[in-house]
Amino acid sequence: MKCTNDCLALIILNDIKNERRLDMCSTLTFDQLWTISLNIHEKTNIVSCCSLNENGWLIVDVAETRLIHVTNQGYIKNTITYTPSPHYAVQFDNDTLAILTEQGINLHRIDSDGEFRL
């Protein structure tokens, strides 16, 4: 679960349906704004997320060693295989993304439009 000024991001794990999805809710009303399937089907999977400059969300999929960039409108912008395996991501300042991996911490620059360069 992550929160910005106006949005609450919830990663929902439904083991009965073998589904992982991202639900975006309003912080004012808690109404669901949108939901998107993350196409993650590993039962033991660990998933986390962080906001990218109010221009989207970054989902960290540990089991499949990938990063999923989701727009604020609920569309998958791109999916990137990341090596070494990412465990967690957090944004610092307006232009720095830190990704914790099994081998250390990697820093990446975030553009003004929320794009990050690996």
Which CATH number is 56's domain given?
2.130.10.10
- Total domains, the chain: 1
pTM of the model: 0.87
CB 67 within 8 A of CB 47: no
Q: Summarize pLDDT for 63-88 with one digit per residue, the tens.
A: 889 999 999 899 999 999 999 999 99
pLDDT digit string (tens) for 10-53? 999 887 887 889 999 999 999 999 999 988 777 666 788 898 87
Range of the domain at 26: 2-109
